[in-house]
Amino acid sequence: MQRTYKFRLYPNTEQWKKLDDTLSTCRWTYNKMIEFLKKNKEKFQTRNDLNYFLTELKESESWLYSCHSKMLQMISTQIDGAQKAIMQLHKNGHKTGSLKFAKYEEYRTFIYNQSGFRITQNMLYLSKIGKIKIILHRSIPENTCVKQVMVIKSKSGKWYTCITYDLDVELPKINLTKSTGIDVGIKNFAYDSDGHQTPNPLNLQKMLKPLARVQRKIARRQIGSQNRKKTMRFYRIIHERIKNRRKDFLHKISTQYAKKYNIVFVEKLQKLNMVKNHKFARNILDSSWGIFTKMLDYKCVVIEVPAKNTSVECSRCGNMVPKSPSIRIHRCNVCNLILDRDHNAAINILKKGLEIFGITNYDIMLPQELWEVTPVKIPERSMKQEEVTGRPVMVHKQIFEYKS
């Protein structure tokens, strides 16, 4: 499988200028390719066509040779992938437009793929740029093949790098007894089927006053002035702090569940439909349930189950108990079960997840060998032009034939 680590870069003044110039060159090349696509929109332009155009562009603009050639070719790969994604969305019935030009503050990454880089203990060498100080807060395993290096400039002006490498690991067997169902929410971010609850920090909610104060300052500044640019930088720093706090919380809770459980069952939520309710939209987006699921997905095995009736159905007898979002306690009038509504939903999620493996009564302990699943790796494509991540999947055919 492949793993990506993100590290902080500390360039000096000269290296900072080179990184900025490289980023500007990539943005200029990207916009030239978009202009080429708009002029030749009658015919679909492949990645090879864009590379031929890049060769002609270098002949007329000799200063492009100051950048690593493979890095510029990755721009054509990026555009080709975006074109194919738009075509697929259009086939699926979504309204799509064409690719747009990149603005100064929107284009913030460039990629060294397979060549043009070298990593030492505290230095990152980039072709045409030089050696840059890097803080390796975690060690990269020895004798690993580094596939690509992505350089990123944050909105606040900090530089980072994402290093992708191949990792050979032997996947252990997965025990279904170490499984749990998680119900995510606004009041409690996560409530699992074992009864553990985690309050939602709502990081954006805590920083609304500083954000409003900075936004008022921006509104009083003249457009285009240096004072406005300085205030905008403080505004971006506040948003970056909110983002970092949110990611720190999500990483900690996802790692906690990944270490304790082998399989995690979560709801398959329609988040875009949920945010149409303006009373809860901000808190739903602030919670970042989708990012939490993605983090769990690469740390352990995650299975999504349908979210229908998980909060309404009684986890003991199956009776439907309708309730509004303000009612936090589940009270069943058939079996007299009184339980927190999120805990009840988490148990229902666990039950639905185990039914996928043919287990209809999870309270009865089966023999240990029937609860084990052997994960296998998806065949990976080559990292010749783009990053591809192979994730473990489970084989459970004819293993979980359970009769109650």
In the chain, domain spans: 2-166, 174-378
Q: Is the dihedral of CA 33, 34, 35, 36 positive or negative?
A: positive
Residue 153 has pLDDT above 90, yes or no: yes
List all residues 6 or more positions away from 28 whose beta carbon is below 8 Å from its beta carbon. Answer: none
Average pLDDT in the chain: 84
Helices 289-299 and 226-260, packing angle to 10 deg: 50
pLDDT at 368 over 60: no
Helix, strand, or coil (residue 340): strand
- Average pLDDT of the segment spanning 132-154: 88
| pLDDT above 70 coverage of the chain, percent | 88
Length of the chain: 404
pLDDT of residue 265: 92
pLDDT, residue 358, reads: 76
CB 363 within 8 A of CB 351: no
Q: What is the pTM of this model?
A: 0.75
C-alpha span between 1 and 365 (Å, rounded): 33
pLDDT tens, 3-40? Answer: 889 999 999 999 999 999 999 999 999 999 999 999 98
C-alpha torsion sign, points 235, 239, 245, 247: negative
